[in-house]
Structure 1
Amino acid sequence: MARQIVIRNTTPDDVAGMDKLSQLVYNYDHFSRVDEFLSQIRIFPEGQFVALDISTPDAPQVVGYTASMRLSFDPARPRFKSWADETGYG
């Protein structure tokens, strides 16, 4: 059976699946990124996308996602202090 993949803007309902995928891909189990994902959706919802496999028995299943952040840029100051400071911890 061919997979049916749908790409759309991310919603809070997708976050648990995104966190599960992140743990699988990045091989961590000591923290959750749920709060970061929710923050990204709240701050810049039009820049967040999710890929869903709608052909699985437990559909929809998150099989990919992107995250975009809008950052202010001022050439007079250093670009990054730290990732956490620049992004407001996610």
Structure 2
Amino acid sequence: MRDRADFERYVEQRSARLLRTAYLLCRDWGTAEDPLQTALAKAWLAWRRVGDDPDPYVYRTINMLIEGMDDDFEGWEAQLSEAEPSR
């Protein structure tokens, strides 16, 4: 049975690699930490369902969260450019 000790071991062993992946997707270390932490929290909630290899679940969650951040940023970028006064 997958328990808290298994999850803690997984986080200890995989966090550095997961953070590097998140960084490669968003190109900022500080920003990469947020989707990683969220993905790990979601993994904990689904821990008994993710199977023997939680990596695909966690990587997919990180990717979806970062893609969502990109969409949010592009939306704000468009709003800012529309709000700029004409010269």
TM range (shorter): 0.3 to 0.5
More helix by share: 2
More strand by share: 1
TM-score (norm. length: structure 2): 0.33
TM-score (norm. length: structure 1): 0.32
